[in-house]
């Protein structure tokens, strides 16, 4: 209490620092003389003058005393550093008047009290050693008292350290929000060019350089005043995605002389980063023919927050379009790139909307350029059937029955197997069997991936533009196709010409084909597709189970979805799938 009264005019952190400093002077002098007295004549003389006993002679007996003393001193230093650290926290990011800092400051007087108490106890221990007699050497009560104090002071340190950790978390959050708002202001403010935005993407302490398509280091001002697609993904971006985007970037872009560049920004979890992820990043970086960041950690955390919260990146890759002045033209250009390729340049939301106004649900929109024989088949007025699923027995029955119907009607028929989304290995096996048994045409891996990815892109593009299944026929058809794929059963869609179409799930379509004799006469009168449509309308299916599985994406998940079979609203569930195939 005498020490506290002496230091009453000082702040709590100054009280503890001054007390510890005063103790350090006395303890330091004592310990220095004790250590040097055997090797230094001056130290030996000072020890005699101060009547310090030869502690080293009793080193084994005194070991518990010194262990307890050192443990307590270390605990006092830890708490003192912690108290000082609280006083040095940046006031612009954390207020002393609100938790957690206000909570910590309320504990500091108690912590100071116990440190001063401990200093007095240590000083008493040293005094006892100086006037050391046989009773002191053999007594363990002093060592026990210091150990008890060390435990208490260590507990105080743990508590203060936990509060300090929370304070630093709060400071980091505030800094992140400040940087987030700064990036938001920059990207929403008209710029002279895109360089300021490109610079803010990277951490200030990082060197502002990228790897160019030739994998040599360049400063990111090489992208200045260029149209840039920010390709944002995690490290699970698929090889198919890279190959298809590469075809657009290296092929069509060059041939059409389109002036845009791609910059890959990989979003990773820093807390789980390891050598395996490092190698995966380098492997992906090496096969990408466009600009990439030097390392994922070079991306500013506030920019990552903006990417996830404003641009909506979750898992599925997106590509944000920046024009030469840094204006965001579209929060995800990948959708329109998968649907229309480079013809959608400059990949703006306005361009995307204008494309949709001119589109209808046609064979060309569904298949794009995935089937090279399509123009020939259409010109020959053949019926074209695309079908999917992973049940080989159904595929054999369906293709055989359908060919039988076509033969009976004497119409040209071409059938193409388009597989199933996220079932790569099963589809590959079935494709091999289809070709071996010559059941129909069948697409390879990349085409199967692209077909389903384009359908998902159509859905998200439509959703992004506010379209619903009630007011948009294309979105309704796309969701029906995706719902078919969500089922384990097969499905089929038939086209005659570009836009005459009928579709159905596997059970309905095979039932219709196997009961062809019921509608053969009608088919000969009105044509195959109109007759099949009428036949399908007559089949009721009261016990269907339709699933729709949609990956989370920037386009958002529709709140209302109608069943592809009965048209009733489907119940909403969160469905998570891990498809390692």
Please choose, from the candidates 328, 299, 160, 139, the residue with its C-alpha nearest in 3D space to the C-alpha of residue 233.
Answer: 299
DSSP 151-214: HHHHHHHHHHHHHHHHHHHHHHHHHHHHHHHHHHHHHHS--SSSHHHHHHTB-TTS--EEE-TT
pLDDT-above-70 percentage for the chain = 86
The pLDDT score that the predictor gives to residue 269 is 92
Q: Would you state the pLDDT for residue 469?
A: 72
Residue 368's pLDDT is what?
Answer: 82
Residue 60 has pLDDT above 90, yes or no: no
Residue spans of beta strands (DSSP E) within 347-393 = 383-388
Task: Give the pLDDT score at 140.
Answer: 61
The secondary structure element, H or E, covering residue 290 is: none
Q: What is the pLDDT of residue 499?
A: 79
Residue pLDDT, tens place only, 365-383:
999 889 999 999 999 999 9
- Mean pLDDT calculated for residue range 100-124: 91
| Predicted local confidence at residue 385, as pLDDT | 96
Alpha-carbon gap, residue 377 to 360, rounded angstroms: 20
Could you report the per-residue pLDDT of 143-179, keeping only the tens digit for each? Answer: 788 889 999 999 999 999 999 999 999 999 999 999 9
pLDDT tier, 581 (very low <50, low <70, confident <90, very high otherwise) = low
Q: At what angle do helices 59-87 and 12-36 cross, to 10 degrees?
A: 150
Q: Between residues 567 and 399, which one has the greater pLDDT?
A: 399
Half-sphere exposure in the Cβ direction for 169 (13 Å, CA): 8
CATH superfamily of 194-358: Glutaredoxin (3.40.30.10)
205-209, 285-289, 291-295: segment of lowest average pLDDT: 205-209
What is the average pLDDT across 482-499? 86
pLDDT for 576 equals 55
Contacts of 268 (CB under 8 A, 6+ apart): 234, 235, 277, 281, 296, 297
* Model pTM above 0.85: no
SS3 at position 388: strand
Measured CA to CA, the distance from residue 314 to residue 337 in angstroms comes to: 19
Q: Is residue 470 exposed (0-12), middle (13-18) or buried (19+ Cβ within 10 Å)?
A: exposed
Lookup: tokens for 235? 């490290």
Q: Nearest 5 degrees, angle CA 236-CA 238-CA 239?
A: 130
Does 484 or 290 have the greater pLDDT score? 290
- Indicate the average pLDDT of the chain: 86
Among the ranges 118-132, 245-259, 414-428, 463-477, which has the highest mean pLDDT value?
A: 414-428
- Please give the share of the chain, as a percent, with pLDDT higher than 90: 56
**pLDDT given at position 570:** 65
How confident is residue 578, by pLDDT bands cut at 50, 70 and 90? low
pLDDT in tens, 532-563: 999 988 766 555 556 666 665 545 565 666 66
Q: CA-CA distance, 533 to 43, in Å (whole number)?
A: 108
Q: What is the pLDDT of residues 206-246, one digit of tens each?
A: 656 788 888 888 887 889 999 999 999 999 999 999 999 99
- Look up residue 390 and give its DSSP letter: S
Beta carbons within 8 Å of 407's beta carbon, 6+ residues apart? none
To 10 degrees, the CA torsion angle through 73, 77, 78, 82?
150
Q: In what order do the strands lie in the sheet with 260-266?
A: 217-219, 209-211, 291-293, 260-266, 227-233, 318-322, 328-330
Strand partners, 321: 229, 330
Q: What is the pLDDT of residues 244-274, one digit of tens each?
A: 999 899 887 777 778 899 999 999 999 899 9
Residues of the chain with CATH 3.40.30.10: 194-358
Helix (H, G, I), strand (E, B) or coil at 58: helix
Q: Biggest alpha carbon distance in the chain?
A: 127
Residue 429 — very low, low, confident or very high, per pLDDT cuts 50/70/90?
Answer: very high
pLDDT tens digit sequence for 474-483: 988 888 888 8
Confidence of residue 134 (pLDDT cuts 50, 70, 90): very low
What values do phi and psi take at 288, rounded to 5? -85, 125
How confident is the model at residue 573, as a pLDDT? 60
* Nearest-angstrom CA–CA distance, 499 and 245: 29
**Does residue 67 surpass a pLDDT of 90?**
no
| pLDDT-based confidence at residue 57 (cuts at 50, 70, 90) | low
335 Cβ contact list (under 8 Å, min separation 6): 352, 457, 458, 460, 461, 464, 555
3-state SS assignment for residue 496: strand
Kindly state the average pLDDT of the residues 418-430. 90
Q: How far from 340 is each of 117, 173, 202, 448, 482, CA to CA, in Å?
A: 77, 41, 32, 17, 19
Place of tokens 């240590």: 122
């Amino acid at each position: 209490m005498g020490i506290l009264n002496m230091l009453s005019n000082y702040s709590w952190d100054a009280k503890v620092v001054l007390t510890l400093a005063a103790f350090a002077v006395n303890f330091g002098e004592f310990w220095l003389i004790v250590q040097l007295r055997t090797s230094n004549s001056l130290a030996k003389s000072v020890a005699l003058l101060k009547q310090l006993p030869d502690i080293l002679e009793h080193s084994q007996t005194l070991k518990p005393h010194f262990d307890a003393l050192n443990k307590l001193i270390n605990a006092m230093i830890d708490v003192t550093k912690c108290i000082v650290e609280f006083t040095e926290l940046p006031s612009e990011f954390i207020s002393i008047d609100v938790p957690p800092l206000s909570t910590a400051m309320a504990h500091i007087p108690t912590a100071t009290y116990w440190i001063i108490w401990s200093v007095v106890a240590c000083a008493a221990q040293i005094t006892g050693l100086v006037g050391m007699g046989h009773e002191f050497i053999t007594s363990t009560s002093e060592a026990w008292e210091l150990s008890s104090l060390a435990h208490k002071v260590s507990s105080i340190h743990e508590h203060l350290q936990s509060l300090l950790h929370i304070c630093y978390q709060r400071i980091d959050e505030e800094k992140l929000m400040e940087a987030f708002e700064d990036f938001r202001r920059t990207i929403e403010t008209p710029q002279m060019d895109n360089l300021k935005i490109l610079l803010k993407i990277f951490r200030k302490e990082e060197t502002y350089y990228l790897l160019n398509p030739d994998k040599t280091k360049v400063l990111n001002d090489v992208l200045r005043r260029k149209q840039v697609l920010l390709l944002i993904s995690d490290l699970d971006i698929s090889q198919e995605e890279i190959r298809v985007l590469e075809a657009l970037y290296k092929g069509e872009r060059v041939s059409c002389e389109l002036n845009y560049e791609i910059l890959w920004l990989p979003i990773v979890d820093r807390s789980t980063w390891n050598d395996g992820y490092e190698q995966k990043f380098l492997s992906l970086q090496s096969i990408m023919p466009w600009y990439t960041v030097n390392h994922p950690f070079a991306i500013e955390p506030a920019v990552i927050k903006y990417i996830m919260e404003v641009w909506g990146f979750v898992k599925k890759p997106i590509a944000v379009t920046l024009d030469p002045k840094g204006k965001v033209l579209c929060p995800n250009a990948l959708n329109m790139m998968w649907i229309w390729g480079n013809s959608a340049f400059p990949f703006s939301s306005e361009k995307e909307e204008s494309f949709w106004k001119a589109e209808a649900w046609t064979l060309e929109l569904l298949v794009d350029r995935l089937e090279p024989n399509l123009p020939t088949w259409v010109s020959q007025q053949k019926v074209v059937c695309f079908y999917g699923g992973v049940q080989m027995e159904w595929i054999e029955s369906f293709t055989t029955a359908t060919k039988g119907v076509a033969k009976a009607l004497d119409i040209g028929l071409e059938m193409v197997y388009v597989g199933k989304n996220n079932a790569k290995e099963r589809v590959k096996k079935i494709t091999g069997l289809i070709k071996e048994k010559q059941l129909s045409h069948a697409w390879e891996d990349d085409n199967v991936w692209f077909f389903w990815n384009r359908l998902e892109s159509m859905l998200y593009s439509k959703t992004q533009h506010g379209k619903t299944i009630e007011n948009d026929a294309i979105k309704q058809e796309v969701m029906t196709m995706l719902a078919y794929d969500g089922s384990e059963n097969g499905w089929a869609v038939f086209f005659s010409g570009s836009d005459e179409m009928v579709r159905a799930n596997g059970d309905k379509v095979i039932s219709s084909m196997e009961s062809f004799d019921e509608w053969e006469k009608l088919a000969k009168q009105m044509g195959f597709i109109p007759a099949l449509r009428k036949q399908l309308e007559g089949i009721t299916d009261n016990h269907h189970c339709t699933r729709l599985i949609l990956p989370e994406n920037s386009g958002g998940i529709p709140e209302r979805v109608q069943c592809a079979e009965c048209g009733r609203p489907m119940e909403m569930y969160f469905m998570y799938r891990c498809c390692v195939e």
